[in-house]
Every structure is written in structure tokens, then in C-alpha cells.
Amino acid sequence: MSNLDTLRHSCSHVMAQAVKRLFPEVKLAIGPFITDGFYYDFDKKEPFIPEDLDRIYSEMKKIVKEDHEFRQYDKNKKDAIRFLGEKGEKYKLEIIAELPGDSVSFYEQGEFVDLCSGPHLKSTGEIKWFKLTSIAGAYWRGNEKREMLQRIYGTAFYEKKDLNEYLNIIEEAKKRDHRKLGRELDLFSVHEEGGAGLIYWHPRGSIIRKEIEDFWKEEHLKNGYELINIPHIAKMELWKTSGHLEFYQENMYSPIDIDGQKYMIKPMNCPGHILIYKTNLRSYRDLPIRWAELGTVYRYERSGVLHGLMRVRGFTQDDAHIFCMPEQLEAEIIRVIEFVLLILKTFGFEKYEVCLSTRPDKYVGTPGNWEKATDALKKALEKVGLKYEIDPGEGVFYGPKVDIKIKDSLNRAWQCSTIQVDFNLPERFKMKFINREGREETPIMIHRALMGSLERFFGVLIEHYGGNFPLWLAPVHVAILTITDDQVEYAKEILEKYKAAGLRVKADFANEKISKKIRNAEVKKVPYMLVIGKNEQESGKIMVRKKGGKSQGQFSVDEWLKIAVEEIKSRSLK
């Protein structure tokens, strides 16, 4: 635990102490530190309201000023159960029942005592710069069948400037929230009538998706992939063979009965790709085989964790599977990593966090194959020059993986790209190829997604750019705005010419002030506005204005069309 983590964990205890002072009837759940701060979950009959945060913050300031020592001591389990039982702390009792050993650790500050293994600061007086940031609901143990608790989030820093910088990022993040911008820019929606966690792409969002998909397909064909497509459902037996029913069933939906046989909606595309592989006898001359699909999958996510585009129940993976020989494995992984970096750079992402996830407790295959797969990923990362951290036990059940988390413009990390080496599914499906010696051999399988899911990647793009997409991605490239009705016919000629050249153009010929028309285009975050008045009409030119109020000056109609087409074609990020 870092010093900052210790500070934040200590601050969560101070917050819990303040809550208990103000609301004695509240029951305590858990209060850990997290990446950007801390939270504490409370069981309170009436919901917290924003004004409560102000009261809790003020009480926390008092506790800090009182400078209580954080004192650790142990109790044997029997005494601890009696102690917490008298207080009615049922969530703590549930935690104790799962702890090993004969004694448990408590921390005390002033009148407040909490079940905790620590560590903490020396005293509450060491906490200087903190802020409570939000209230949310959270199911106990993340289980929607359990109690709904109330979670208070906060953060803490050792320096005031660090706290202020973080709070500024929080405010900017609120402005960039993809759910807010999704509504304002008419990009997508989620409907309770249609089902939670299912995304409805609107025309403006769908045209961005088309640009992403076109680029994705173009680059995959350039990089030696073939495109395939598979059905959305498959017989239950397929998921038994793959191991999903054994290791992944809690994330799958219930079977569907079709003609007396059970089918299941797919949570992953890999078994379908394997079935295509097995339609022919493969030779070493055929390998590596690289097959890619924009495949829609469905996974059960608890309602409490659904979040806009970032956490959904139905999504499209930019999926691919590579089947190769052992001697090709390292080169193929390097090739995939370089492909990931190319794709991400094109969308404006050049900073990453990289994690190598190793064998979990529940896995298929042999430890020896897991070691080989993990070693191949390590060597590939090192040869490409990517720094990485080990994430112990976080591999998927069939193999180790590399996750590349992209950093957005606010320096937040988002999990998108993943590369997984799999010795196990090829063995379970009895996949073969004929090697150079004429004998059957099992291929190695690489699972990979460059963007992850289109839904999450789109959400990240919205927040990264704050809805101000580069020209090639923008749902509308240019708005044509007339100053008076006299310019409408001239403007219509430009409109048709630009549409014919492939530009996405919107016209505003309404009888309104030009300032209002510009403001409307700015609100919709249109990258360019062509303002056409009497001077432009008489000279056969256009006045080009860039979003944000930057005048680009006058251009001939053909001159600026050439500039715009080149900017789109090059996928410029400027």
C-alpha cells in the first residue's frame, strides 16, 4: 500500500466516523481506498442527499482537528462477534465469518472503532486536503439480490495543489460525460422498454460507427486478415465443449428451446471461429490463419454496474483469432501489438498502461502450457519496447493475456485492447493441422481485440474529445450558413457539390440571425461552418469558420473542398 493509499484509507475511516456521529442508526459495510480516492458503503434507511455531504465534510474537519490517534488492536473472534453483534453491525459480522485465524484486527480513533487490517496514518490530524465527491448506490457484495447500500465517494491528497488539480479534472469529466454528450449530440440512447444495458445507435452515432468500422476493415485486409461472420446463437453442447458453461456460465443468458434442443446466445465469438477452422484439413502451409469479425455478443452484467456505453449487456467486439504454429507465436504477438498501436494512434491515443495477467485459480489446460503462453507474451512486449506490470491471477480461464489500457485527454485509463494466448481451446476442440513431417499437430490460438468493444471505444472517444471529434469522425463535417435569403440558391449549389464529393453537410437557410446559426452549429460541435453572405456570393467564394470561433478566411469553393477532402482522407486529428 502506498503512502497515498494509506492516507485515503484513513480518510475513509474519518468519513465513517463522521457519518456515525450524524446518523447513529447507520450500519457500516466496507470503506477501501481506490485508484482516485476512497469510498464507504453505508446501510441507511433514508437516502443521503447532497446537503448531507456538506454536513459530513464539516464533521470530518472537526475530527481532523481533534487529532485522534489511529490505534490498532486485536480481538479473538468470539469477542469480536459479540462486540459487533451488540452494535448491530451485521455486515461486519458477515466479513468476520469469512476471515481465517482465531483473531481479527480493529482500528480505533476517538469513539469510533472499525474492523480493519490497516494500515493507517498516525492520527486524524495528518489528513489535510480532502473532498467528498459523490453519492451512489451499491449492492452489498455486488449482488443485486442483496441489500442496496449507499456509497459515498471521496478523495484525499497530501498537497492542496494536487487536490485542486484532481477536482478540476472531475469538473471537466462531468462536461465530457459520454451519457450527457450522447443526449446533447443525439448519438445513442438506452431504453428501459428495450432492456437495460442495450444500446440504440442514432443516425449521428451510427455514421461515426460506420467510419470506425470502415477503417477497421480496411486495415485488417491490409494486415493479412480475412473477414468472417458467425450466428448469434449456438447449441448448448458447443459451450460445454469450449468450457464456457463450466467457467463462464454466470455471465451467460439462459438457454433457448428450439425444436427440443437447447441453444444459448453467444457471449464470445471464439467457438464459432473454431468451427469454421474445422471445415477443412489445414496444413502448415496455411498457417498462420488470421480471421476477424465485428461480432456482437451478449453477456450478463448486474444492473448495478451498467454504465452508459462503458458497461453494457450487448456489444460488438472488434474480434479476431489467429491460428498458428508454435514457432510463429512470438512473431504473431508482436504483429498484433504493433497493429494495436497503429489503430489506437489513428484515433489519437498514444499513452497506455499495459498489464500482463497470469493464471487464475480456476483454469483449463496444463501449467506447462500456461508458462509457455505467458513467456511468449513477455518476450513480445519486451521486443516491442512496451513497459508492463504483472497482474497476478487475472488471466482468463483459458489463457494469459495482455491488456492495453489507453489514457485519454484527462489521463484516465480505459481498458480496451486485449491479446490472449490459448493452448487450451484448440485441444478441447481437437483442432489439427498437418505439420512439415506429415503428422497431425495442434495449433496455437491467439484471441485479440484492438479496440475492445465498439460501444466502450465509442464512449471513450466521446469523452476523450469532449464530443469535438476530428473531421473524419464527425457526424457532420460542415454546416453551410446563409446570412440572408438572397444567398440560398448559391448555397444550395455548394451543398450539392460538397455532398457529391462525399462530405456530410448540413444547411441552415432559416430566416434567422447568422449569430444564432453559428451558435447552433457550435452546440452540435460541427467542425467547420461556411458562412455565405453578399460578398461571398458576388465573389464566388466562401468564408470558412472553424469550430471555436477561429476564422480561416475566404476560399474558393473548389479550393476548400480539396482541403476538406484531404483532411478526411488522411484521418487528420487536428
Q: What is the pLDDT of residue 445?
A: 95
Report pLDDT digits (tens) over 85-127: 999 999 999 999 888 888 999 999 999 999 999 899 999 999 9
Position 331 pLDDT exceeds 80: yes
Structural domain includes residue 171: no
| One domain for residues 161 and 20 | yes
Cell (9 digits) for 438: 506429415
For residue 542, give its domain range.
478-569
Last residue of a domain, one of 465, 491, 507: 465
Do 280 and 234 share a domain, yes or no? yes
Assign 26 to helix, strand or coil: coil
Residue 360 lies in a domain: yes
DSSP E strands in 408-549: the ranges are 413-422, 433-434, 440-441, 444-453, 478-482, 505-508, 528-532, 541-546
pLDDT above 70 for 1: no
Q: Is the dihedral of CA 252, 255, 261, 265 positive or negative?
A: negative
- Mean of the per-residue pLDDT values for the chain? 94
pTM for the predicted model, two decimal places: 0.87
Domain assignment present for 177 = no
Tell me if 96 sits within 8 A of 104, measured CB to CB.
Answer: yes
User: In this structure, is residue 327 part of a structural domain?
Assistant: yes
Residues 297 and 405 grouped into a single domain: yes
Average of pLDDT values for 398-409? 92
Mean pLDDT of 9-19: 97
Which band of pLDDT confidence, cut at 50, 70 and 90, is reported for residue 24? very high
What's the pLDDT tens digit per position in 131-165?
999 999 888 988 778 899 999 999 999 999 999 99
Catalytic residues: 270, 299, 317, 319, 321, 401, 447
Q: Is the confidence at residue 303, as pLDDT, over 90?
A: no
Domain count of the fold of the chain? 3
Same domain, 250 and 105: no
In a shared domain, residues 158 and 202: no
Q: Let me know whether 485 and 428 are in one domain.
A: no
For residue 179, tell me if it sits in a domain: no
pLDDT tens-digit readout, 405-414 = 999 999 899 9
**pLDDT interval class at 361 (50, 70, 90):** confident
The answer on 352 and 227 residing in a single domain is yes
Band of pLDDT at residue 247, cut at 50, 70 and 90: confident
Domain end among 442, 465, 488: 465
Asked if residue 136 and residue 91 are part of one domain, the reply reads: yes
Residue 318 lies in a domain: yes
**Domain of residue 532, CATH code:** 3.40.50.800
Q: Is residue 206 located within the same domain as residue 140? A: no
Q: Tens digit of pLDDT for each residue in 526-573?
A: 999 999 999 999 999 999 999 988 889 999 999 999 999 999 999 999
Q: For residue 248, is it within any domain? A: yes
- pLDDT tens, position by position, 57-68: 999 999 999 999
Per the domain annotation, does 172 fall within a domain?
Answer: no
- E strand or H helix that includes residue 375: helix 367-384
pLDDT score of 248:
87
pLDDT value of position 555: 96
Of 166, 194, 209, the residue at which a domain comes to its end is: 166
Clarify whether residues 482 and 461 are in a common domain: no
Residue 93's domain is classified under what CATH number? Answer: 3.30.980.10
Same structural domain for residues 83 and 15?
A: yes
3-state class of 25 per DSSP? Answer: coil
Sign (positive/negative) of CA torsion 543, 505, 220, 317? positive
Predicted confidence at residue 495, as pLDDT, reads 96
Q: Give yes or no: residues 538 and 426 share one domain.
A: no
User: Residue holding cell 504473431?
Assistant: 332
Provide the b/e sequence for 212-243 (b: ≥16 CB within 10 Å). Answer: beebbeebbeebebeebebeeebebebbebbb
